[in-house]
Structure formats: C-alpha cells, structure tokens
C-alpha cells in the first residue's frame, strides 16, 4: 500500500508535469489563456511541493512576483482578457512579450497582504520589465521555469518523461554548450523608442473601471 509520503510525491510530480505541459503550450501558441493556465499550474505545484517535501517557491523572486499577478487574476477576472501577447518589437533573447498595464501590476501589489507587500513590490520591480505604462512579464515566466526545474530536480520530484523531455533537452543542450539557462529579456533598441511603442500598446488596454 502506498504511504502518504509517496502519495504526496506522486501528486507533486503530477502537478509538475501539468506545469511543464502548460509552459510548452505557452511557448508554442502564447496567449492570455496559456499565460493564466501556466500561473494556475505554478500555484498548484507550489502547494503540492510544500505538502510533499516541506519546500516551496516562496524564496524565488520570480514566483513571488507571478503569484501576485495570479492572485489578482483569480479574484478579478477582467485581468485575464486585459493582457497583450505581442512579438518583441526589437532584437531580444525572447521573441514574445506578455504585456500588462502598469496600474494592473500596481493593483496586484497593493491587493497583497500588508506584511508581504514590500517583499512583493521588490520582487516585481526586480524581475518584471517596466516600460512606462507597460510591463513585460514574459522574461520572468521563462526564468521562473528554469528555477522550478532546478528546484524540483533537487528534491526528487520527477514529472512524466513526456512532460519534461522537451524542456530538459533544451536545458542540457545549454549546459553542454556553456550557455546561460536564463534570459535577460532586454530589447536592443533606443529606450525612448521602445517605451513609446509599448506605451501605445498599454493605452489600448482598458484601465481599471473602464
């Protein structure tokens, strides 16, 4: 008979599999739906990881920042339809940007518990890319997935091979060639030009209460 510890590990492994499947879908056909499916899977894995091994992602800045966005979207459904997934308008190590309005991110921070608010604000400022009224969260998503892979590998949580194979192959290939696993997500173009372009994207998105 399977012990409760074994059941918890199996549940965490299944949750990790869901996270990597949703991430692959987000990479292949990114949209607001794939983004929020990914954030939901991230939140679920965090809960199950805590139950299985007594460890979670709350020490990871990317998780702290993304969880704030996930929590706002969970309670205020309009955020799900108020995200823009666009091609990067300049050279970058990521081809896609996931744009939220600055006021939405600020609302996610302010709606968090007061005792964690300063930590959440610091995480959002550190790992999101801010362009005036537009905020790109896709580099944070990418880098979180790398850290999630490393964290679950350390504690012996192993998704099904078909769920992790693509990500793991990329990770090992980067390692073999001495490449960083992480992205900068920086746009290689004049800052004023990029900020102006992305501000026009943000201006087309409904603001709170609109």
**How many domains, the chain?**
1
On whether residue 177 sits in a domain, the answer given is no
207: phi > 0 → left, psi -120 to 50 → alpha, else beta; which? beta
Domain interval for residue 131: 4-160+182-203
Task: Write the CB contacts of 80 (distance below 8 Å, at least 6 apart in sequence).
Answer: 32, 33, 36, 73
The confidence score (pLDDT) of residue 210 equals 46
On whether residue 176 sits in a domain, the answer given is no
On whether residue 171 sits in a domain, the answer given is no
CB 142 within 8 A of CB 24: no
On whether residue 167 sits in a domain, the answer given is no
The confidence score (pLDDT) of residue 195 equals 83
**Which backbone phi and psi does 84 adopt, to 5 degrees?**
-115, 125
For the chain, give the percent of residues with pLDDT over 70. Answer: 96
The confidence score (pLDDT) of residue 5 equals 82
On whether residue 10 sits in a domain, the answer given is yes
CB 101 within 8 A of CB 205: yes
Residue 6's pLDDT band, with cuts at 50, 70 and 90, is: confident
pTM above 0.75, yes or no: yes
The confidence score (pLDDT) of residue 193 equals 82
On whether residue 165 sits in a domain, the answer given is no
On whether residue 174 sits in a domain, the answer given is no
On whether residue 106 sits in a domain, the answer given is yes
76 has a pLDDT exceeding 60 = yes
Q: What is the mean pLDDT of residues 84-111?
A: 92
């Amino acid at each position: 008979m399977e012990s409760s510890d074994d059941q918890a590990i199996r549940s965490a492994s299944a949750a990790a599999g869901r996270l990597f499947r949703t991430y692959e879908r987000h990479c292949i056909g990114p949209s607001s739906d794939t983004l929020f499916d990914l954030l939901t899977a991230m939140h679920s894995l965090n809960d199950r990881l805590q139950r299985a091994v007594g460890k979670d992602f709350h020490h990871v800045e990317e998780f702290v920042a993304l969880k704030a966005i996930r929590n706002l979207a969970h309670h205020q459904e309009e955020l799900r339809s108020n995200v823009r997934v666009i091609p990067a308008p300049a050279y970058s190590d990521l081809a896609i940007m996931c744009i939220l309005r600055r006021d939405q991110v600020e609302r996610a921070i302010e709606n968090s518990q007061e005792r964690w608010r300063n930590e959440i604000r610091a995480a959002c400022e550190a790992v999101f890319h801010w362009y005036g009224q537009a905020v790109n969260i896709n580099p944070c998503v990418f880098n979180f997935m790398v850290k999630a892979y490393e964290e679950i590998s350390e504690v012996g949580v192993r998704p099904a091979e078909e769920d992790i194979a693509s990500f793991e192959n990329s990770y090992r290939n980067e390692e073999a060639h001495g490449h960083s696993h992480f992205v900068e997500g920086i746009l290689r173009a004049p800052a004023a030009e990029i900020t102006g372009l992305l501000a026009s994207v943000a201006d087309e998105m409904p603001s709170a209460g609109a």
